[in-house]
Chains A and B, each alone.
Chain A
Amino acid sequence: MEEFLTLLLAGVSVGAVYGLIAIGLNLTFWTTKTMNFGQGSVMMLCAMLTATMIAQGWPQVLSILAALAVIVVLMVFTETYTVRPALKIEGSMGWAVSTLGVGIVLQGFASLWFGSQALAFPDIIFSAIDDVVVFGVHMSLQYLAVLVLALVLVVAFELLVRGTVWGRAMRAVSMDADLASVIGIPVRIIVLGSYIGSGVLAGISGILVAQIGGTVDPAFGFELVIFGFVAAVLGGMGSTTGALAGGLVAGVLQQMVGGYISSAAQHGMAFALLILILVVRPQGLFGQREVVKV
């Protein structure tokens, strides 16, 4: 029982982070029908920079903010020089390949600067051994903190999208960018903003996952993005509630399969889930079927 609850908490907590990654992917999908295939490297870079700066003796909050600032610059570059020009290319090939390219470059530089060894990630609030006893079960405070933080971010994000002018403007762009531009919405800024937001969410997710795992290395991130994508597809591309639900399902399943079956099956599980949902219900649990305008 204790093992089950521990796995469940780990699954829910990791799953909430997957949901956060998925929301980051959704954000650019809304505005441009694109997503950053190099998102994994954004997560890695943010976590690596944070870890390095803290190791240099910077205050933790300042390190995180500085790392996020670097991510913002990076996303502006990505959108301007690799996504926008690539939209001219027929289909998804242009931007899928170019954003993956940026991710590969970042991974290459990270290996060069930091070496390919894993960097220890410092404990930010709690350490891995802090726990709290609930109903006689030891629960890791780190997992709980990550869960709470991820949930708070998801709710804040949803309020931002629903309640503010910018959120409404973004939804207008997602419906019809040309029309939005005609009625005076600064489409260019919204699109850029969606990339920045997406990068910031990825960066925070990177820090959260690194906090749980305790280390970060240059290859960190690629597989996490796959889980984020599984979460997004499972919940239905574009749906925030769906992303969170999909993330939780993927996270819990992953921990359960990993805990009770094997870690090989754990890796295969995400993939099986992805292929299954795309075959059976490509619009996901909460998404709407895409109508292709001809």
Chain B
Amino acid sequence: MIIAFRTVLTRLITHPVFILAAIAALFFGSAFLSGGTVAILGFLMLNILLAQSMNLLTGIAGQISLGHAGFYGMGAYASGILMKTVGLPFVVTVPAAALIGALTGYLLSFPAGRVREFYLAMMTLAFGLIFREVVREWDDLTGGAVGLSGVPSTTLRTLHVFGYTLDGLDYFRVILIVTVIVMWLVHNFIQSRYGRAFYAIHASEVAAGCLGIPRAGTKQLAYTLAAGMAGLAGGLYAHMIGYLGPESFDLARSIAVLVTTVVGGLGSMAGQIMSAVVFTFLPEKLQVFAEYQFIVYGLILAFTLILLPRGLAGLLLLPPRFIKPSSLRHAVAAEVAIRPVETDKDAALVVQGVTMRFGGLTAVDDVSLELHPGRITALIGPNGSGKSTLVNVISGIYTPAAGSVRFFGETITGLPDHRIAASGLLRTFQDPRLVPRFTVRENLLLGAHRRYKSSALAATLGLPSAAREEAQFLGTVEAVTRMAGISDVLDQPLESLPYGYRRLVEVGRALLAEPRAILLDEPAAGLSEAEMTLLARMIRAMKEAGLMVLLIEHHMDFVAELVDDVVVLDSGRVIYHGDIGGMRQSPEVIAAYLGTAETEHA
């Protein structure tokens, strides 16, 4: 019943006819409304822009801003000062406001790659508070605490664009069109590989990095875009009332934006609109609300994420999706799931003398091994013998204390994980690290991230080149799911699926990255017999396509029928290297697994 309601409502509000009708109604209908109402509608548009900006940053990319009013204010003062003091025209000052906002976000998020998100949250809080103080103190430029008055605006009838004087109604229409265009662009962006990368960083930075998504750059892009949107909203605001005062950009404003986004539902663009409507009209219509606003906002922040984590959108709408429906319809059928890998004389992964220490503990001690195209190497050893640590070193999550890793002749030791993934060295995790809210299809498509060629601009503008590329990868996704035997759950959210499926999806996701080498960390753990057969089929297909495969596994029957070479680790050292028959005879291996009998020197 609820699902049916959500489906109907979601279909309705995302239908192009409905959206166009709503825009047309606002555009033409505003002519019949009072000046005051039109002004409130203008503020509504700005609040929607701010909420979308916060949603892109917080809901999609998982980064926090507690100082959005600072970005908004940067834009407002930039446009106001540039027009009033410098005399630049509207068509220059408003884009400049967006640029200055974006630049602020870019600079602010410089530490993004090095610290966890709450540091940036505190920095944005600091930025918001300090922005206001600086505006108050720097009165030569900003008018200080008295404010900056006489900014060309519609209220004063001093805002001219190309010789035409804009009134309140015209200006509302300008804001409406800008808001619609920005939302269309953001929507394209979210439903592209960039939006998926943002959300992947949100879900697991490590997993995203191992798919070739750079965490620092992605977070910084999120801050830059979000701050740019807030700056744009500020630039538009500056010319609505013709006066800018520091108290319009205080903590309360930042909190209001955050509240709107959290209540609307993190991640949902439609939810942001609903929420912006509520929080624009409620204080206008309900005086009591205005009085207790701060307390209500505080209560909302304190409890909404705990009690209603998906906000209004979670109640009323289906979860947002990250692939364009039109791309889905045009998916190009792919012949093979794994393309044969081109090899050359350097085609090998050479691990030489790698040592990794954690404080006093040496987890991996002088380990060397080689992987070659078309060969499956098993890495075996008791729990705690350093297998996963070695994989973490090879994939760039840890930097080793000594030793080197070479891949196709290039030294990759110490490179960041996303660079290593970009060179075609992929891995899976012992505990599958997928995006729980993504469907299987979206998760798999994330694997192809590093293979996309079209630019962010092409994706944002929805250009045909970007759409074609997406359609192609969607075809490969289907081919991979056929091989993995998971075609029937393609459009189910991953969090609804049993464990075995998640493992298969993770292996499939690594394959979509078109790896030249793949490191599988206990891929068969927790799989049923049938699922293990599917997994074995995939691993054989990798071998046939010429991939280098490293397989960490405890399940000996599974290993025995697949592998070419075996490396056994114990307490971080290699104790055996050879074929599997020899391993079973090796006294060291037997001792490591079963323990030695008490002997005379024990």
Contact = CB atoms under 8 A, between A and B. Distances in A.
B68 to A, nearest CB: 13
Contacts of A86: 305-306
A190 B382 CA distance: 35
Given A97-B262, A229-B122, A264-B137, A105 B295 contact: yes
29 contacts: A89-B305, A91-B202, A92-B64, A92-B116, A93-B58, A94-B306, A100-B66, A100-B125, A101-B300, A102-B298, A102-B302, A104-B301, A105-B298, A105-B299, A105-B302, A108-B295, A108-B296, A108-B298, A223-B129, A226-B129, A229-B122, A267-B130, A267-B133, A270-B130, A275-B107, A282-B111, A282-B119, A294-B206, A294-B397
B115 interface: yes
A294 B395 CA distance: 12
Chain B contact residues: helix, strand, loop or mixed: helix
A271 B108 CA distance: 10
B358 interface: yes
Contacts of B534: none
A270 B299 CA distance: 29
B392 A267 contact: no
B298 to A, nearest CB: 3
B408 interface: no
Nearest to A100: B301
B206 A267 contact: no
B305 A264 contact: no
B171 interface: no
Contacts of A291: 358
Given A96-B64, A104-B294, A270-B126, A278 B301 contact: no
Contacts of A267: 130, 133-134, 137
A264 B132 CA distance: 10
A134 interface: no
B110 A279 contact: yes
A90 B203 contact: yes
B114 A282 contact: yes
Contacts of B293: 108
Interface residues of B, number: 54
Chain A contact residues: helix, strand, loop or mixed: helix
A91 B117 contact: yes
A233 B303 contact: no
A37 interface: yes
B298 A278 contact: no
B301 A222 contact: no
Given A93-B62, A108-B298, A294-B206, 8 more contacts: A89-B306, A90-B203, A93-B58, A98-B301, A107-B294, A268-B130, A271-B130, A292-B206
Interface string A209-240: 00000000001001100100110010000000
Interface in B84-125: 107-108, 110-111, 114-119, 121-123, 125
Contacts of B302: 81-82, 98-99, 101-102, 104-105
Contact of B111 (A106, A108, A222, A275): A275
Interface string B190-206: 00000000000011001
Interface in B273-313: 292-303, 305-306, 309
Contacts of B126: 226, 229-230, 270-271, 274
Contacts of A223: 129, 133
A294 B390 CA distance: 12
